[in-house]
A and B are shown apart, each in its own frame.
Chain A
Amino acid sequence: MGLEAYVVVATVLFGLGVACLITRRNVIYVLMGIEMILNSANINFVAFNRFNGDGMDGRMFAIFVIILAAAEAAVALGIVLNVFQLFGTVKPSDVDLLRE
């Protein structure tokens, strides 16, 4: 398959991730949407690396993206736990302490 097929798959996956971010009202879904977006970026990096000559930059970027995703998931989970303890909710729109 050519480069375009991978780019199309990555684009649609990115759209699904954004849709997951904006349509669901739960922090866990926000995390899942972010993971989908990062995965679509990874597909693009690796596909362009494959079809664009013999460099290995794209592959390395993909590895760094995976590292960052792991760190982000761990920190985000800690934040979610604390937010739930403090506010008793996991809806992003309910965390509005500064409005009072």
Chain B
Amino acid sequence: MDVRKQQLTFYTLLLVATLAALAWGTRTAGTQGAAFALFASFTLGGGLMCIWERSVVRSAFSLMATFCGVAGLFVLLGHDYLAMAQILIYVGGILVLILFGVMLTPPDLKERQLPRVGLGVVLVLGTLLAVGAKVAATVEWARADTLPQIESRADYIGAAFLRAEDGYLVPFELAAVLLTVALVAAVYIARRKPSDLVDPAEEGGY
């Protein structure tokens, strides 16, 4: 099979799977089920495309579908603030960082090793699904009787961050320090000139 045919087959299968998931969701839970199926297909389809595509740029852009799908799942769960943060940070930040990484490193356009990819996916997913089925069949998740009302406004979350007792003040400050250290370190590492990175082999050994 040539590459074109492979692509066509893959995307047809993906589309069929998405439509099947939509039909299943609509049949089991109406509009909410359809929305869940749509976002879940975005999430998982993006992940599959990321593994499938040979070009790194296409893989990076397919991750956008994954991140947006996860944001949609957050909205369905009633956490609007998290969904907004997810889109801002993942799609607007991390994806751009990954694209910078793609642009600053050379492409690797070797022929895709289909058996390797297929074997990896089947092995990992098979193991996970076996364990997951076992867990789902045996564990009784503790759960509330009625779904509570969720306070997802940003000021509520901000107040919880800044409360010292029964709040998250210490982790919040730790996260702030960690972000400062990590970002300054990242800038320092990335901006070093090549002359600072002397190849040890040229220096006459270690």
Contacts and interface: CB of A to CB of B under 8 A. Distances in A.
Interface residues of B, number: 83
Contacts of A11: 128-129, 132
Dominant secondary structure at the A interface? helix
A96 to B, nearest CB: 13
- Interface band, chain A: 35 or more
Nearest to B28: A1
A77 interface: yes
Interface string A60-72: 1011101111111
Contact of B147 (A25, A50, A80): A50
A74 B183 contact: yes
A23 interface: yes
A73 B36 CA distance: 28
Interface of B: 25, 29, 32-33, 36, 40, 43-44, 47-48, 50-51, 56, 59-60, 63, 66-67, 70, 73-74, 76-79, 82, 85-86, 89-90, 93-94, 97-98, 100-102, 104-106, 108, 116-117, 120-121, 124-125, 127-129, 132, 136, 141-144, 147-152, 157, 160-161, 168, 171, 175, 178-179, 182-183, 185-190, 192, 194, 197, 199-200
A69 B105 CA distance: 21
